[in-house]
Amino acid sequence: MLVAQRPWGFDSLRPHLDPMEYANYALRFLLELAALAALVFWGFEEFGGVLQWVIGLGAPLVAATVWGTFMSPKASRPTVDPVRLLIEVVVFGSGVAALLASGETALGLVFAGLAVLHLGLTFALGQRPAQAVP
């Protein structure tokens, strides 16, 4: 892979990934956002009054807090498999369940398929962290 040399010497700061790895990381980011959006949609679609605000804002806040604490690149408590896989399945699964509960079956099935594709690619491309980095 050809990488342009930078005259100021910051080549080591840019990871050298193949395009498929970049695409899978982009898919992961979009799935994270979609899971949060699905939880917001579910809360405001399925509930009324004050409860719609509590669930519509609270459910994605809980999911984002869990993701930020255990899964993000700068997580305060990074995890490895099998706990990491379990958290991914729970967060992405909650997005799928929220869409299905809201009557958005087609979107829920597409989301589930993309989540399964992403998780499969993380194993195939070696994107699973071997150890937690503090």
- The answer to whether residues 121 and 30 touch, using CB atoms and an 8 Å cutoff, is no
Given this model, what pLDDT does residue 71 score? Answer: 86
- The answer to whether residues 54 and 40 touch, using CB atoms and an 8 Å cutoff, is no
Per-residue confidence at 20, pLDDT binned at 50, 70, 90?
A: confident
Q: Is pLDDT of 8 > 60?
A: no
Task: Give the global pTM.
Answer: 0.80
Domain-embedded: residue 131: no
- Report residue 47 CA to chain centroid gap: 25
Q: Is pLDDT of 16 > 70?
A: no
Residue 126, amino acid: G
Domain-embedded: residue 96: yes
Per-residue confidence at 132, pLDDT binned at 50, 70, 90?
A: low
Q: Which residues contact 122 (CB under 8 A, 6 or more apart)?
A: 24, 28, 128
> How many structural domains are present in the chain?
1
Q: What is the mean pLDDT of residues 19-24?
A: 87
Residue of 75, 117, 38 whose CA lies nearest to 83 = 75
Domain-embedded: residue 1: no
Q: What is the mean pLDDT of residues 106-128?
A: 93
Domain-embedded: residue 12: no
Domain-embedded: residue 87: yes
Q: What is the mean pLDDT of residues 22-31?
A: 92
Q: How far apart are CA 62 and CA 37, in angstroms?
A: 13
DSSP for 98-116 reads: HHHHTT-HHHHHHHHHHHH
Domain-embedded: residue 70: yes
The average confidence (pLDDT) of the chain is 85
**Residue 89 corresponds to which tokens in the numbers above?**
């399945």
pLDDT digits (tens, 9 = 90+) for 37-85: 999 999 999 989 999 999 999 999 999 999 999 888 788 888 888 888 9
Q: How far apart are CA 31 and CA 99, in angstroms?
A: 13
Owning domain of residue 60: 18-124
Instruction: Provide the phi-psi class of 6: left if phi over 0, else alpha when psi is between -120 and 50, else beta.
Output: beta
Domain-embedded: residue 134: no
Domain-embedded: residue 94: yes
Given this model, what pLDDT does residue 72 score? Answer: 83
